[in-house]
Structure 1
């Protein structure tokens, strides 16, 4: 008779270590979800093409153009010079709209975004490169600070639900309902006009020459403190409320109860299991916020007279400077798409369900 082989026992998998949706061994978590990432990359490439196309046609649907605005301010320009300006800006009436579209793509692939009439025929890339660091340094830093404080604070408040910490939720939510410009003007009136702690506006003092020195950096930080605090206070409530609500949902899951029943320290359960899963929906919102950092906060930059991308876009729109408008829109679009793509990549590695869906 043939001996009956005893059944082979599969190694037991701890659902707490693998994740609540784990159906395979821990070796599967290192698999790269190529199908998911490839699909997202194709989607973003199509979105980029659509955005660039809209970016080309939308300004041309507006009444008038940058040359008309320029001629209204400078009446001594000859018709020949006006035609040369239109040809330089890609607005040549001798070419069809489709031919202008092809030329636009040809210049775009060479990295040529045209010239800006508003800034004395300077290259658009040069104009944007000078305004971009101010917006990234200010709005980007404020967004990261608000996200960090709001996420950590929301996790702690959600973990200690029913405690006195809950009072922070209505306070921060109320501050988040105040418009940027109103909160900014209140901050200027209180801390700049009355207390004279901070300058009223600008990125640095009048007459100061930008340079890499501790004195200039300190002056920039001094001028940027009030706008940063304004952005953080206005956006903190959304991050804190979102994380707190997700924590309340996650804390009712069975794996949290099992982890506590095993006698794990509360700190490990909080940050290793509850907050780790609750933060996943926040990642997409954070990536979107980082993408829109490049766009800046137009109202905030206007209130504080800050030389960022937001103010640059507003000035270009008022002057109907097509090339500058298209350049700014393109930079904003690229930043949003790249930020969302990076968020999808991070999501794919942090959330086991993404890898299991591909499998």
Structure 2
């Protein structure tokens, strides 16, 4: 399959997935209990004022008409206006997006930096104590519920030891260099919490793929030629074993974003995840729709880029 056709197919699939996510989000939010009109209309309003306000937000129109208008606004880059804050949804999201990016990227870097070496260690010591210990850690990490590990870290390092702050993104009275230090200290617990729930997948995948790579003929040939085991492991086997791990990074981004929503809620971190929680409690449909759409686009694009990169790294993907 030519490269251009391969990329176009992935782009088409990404566009369809985003449209599907937009449609499902639009419909699901309107099935939630509660009247969205309560978020924009005061109980003290007259009937005429209430009707005018609902007309302004388009809540008086049939569902299919609301859906059509919503799609048209999205194409124009308009995410609507927040019911509770009365400002454009895009402004609300842009205020929170940097914090979510900081948290997810930090967690991803930590997970990769720790998970890959642990997987290599387990594969190189296959069957030994370290291998079994790493496997237990990996399986346990995959079984942990996000809020549980967050609450545990808060209790131990925030409330008991008092080493780290228990909420927010920075101290309001910090300025200059102290502000950056405050941001870093507030980031540690949420990032570690998010890292721990992702670590198991990276460790177990790296271990499995590296064990397979170590069984290949080229490794046997390298051993026969007298190459040191460490060189075979890190220079030859690891290079091929990293291909599935590269794919895992893109695929796990969706779980990382989902975990960020719960993590930000537990740590009161002012990212998009925390914004989603607040929007749900306030029935702020425009913010919910905008946040879900932004997260969906991020995940879809990350998976698409991973797919394309893997296709270039392994030409067999394009012909399968």
TM-score, normalised relative to structure 2: 0.90
1:299–1:291 Cα change, 3 Å: closer
Structure 2 residue 162 is matched with structure 1 residue 199: no
Counterparts of 2:8 and 2:220, CA distance in 1: 37
1:243–1:327 Cα change, 3 Å: same
1:152–1:350 Cα change, 3 Å: farther
User: What is the aligned counterpart of 1:141 among 106, 121, 129?
Assistant: 106
User: Alpha-carbon deviation of 1:137?
Assistant: 0.5
Partner of 1:152: 117
Q: How many residues align?
A: 319
Partner of 1:83: 51
1:174–1:193 Cα change, 3 Å: same
Instruction: Tell which deviates more after alignment, 280-289 or 109-118.
Output: 280-289
TM-score, normalised relative to structure 1: 0.81
What are the superposed Cα offsets for residues 294-322 of structure 1, whole Å, 9 maximum, x if unpaired?
A: 55523322221111111211221222221
User: What is the aligned counterpart of 1:220 among 175, 183, 192?
Assistant: 183
What are the superposed Cα offsets for residues 243-270 of structure 1, whole Å, 9 maximum, x if unpaired?
A: 1122222222222212322334434432
1:97–1:265 Cα change, 3 Å: same
Structure 1: which 5+ residue stretches go unaligned?
Answer: 1-30
Q: CA RMSD in A?
A: 2.3
User: What is the aligned counterpart of 2:93 among 107, 128, 148?
Assistant: 128
Partner of 1:243: 206
Partner of 1:231: 194
What are the superposed Cα offsets for residues 115-168 of structure 1, whole Å, 9 maximum, x if unpaired?
A: 1113x2111111111111111101221122112311232023212323442123
Checking the alignment, whether the CA contact within 8 Å between 2:96 and 2:271 is kept in structure 1 is yes
Give runs of aligned pairs for residues 62-81 of structure 1, distance below 5 A. 62-71=32-41, 74-81=42-49
Larger proportion of helix? 2
Counterparts of 2:2 and 2:194, CA distance in 1: 37
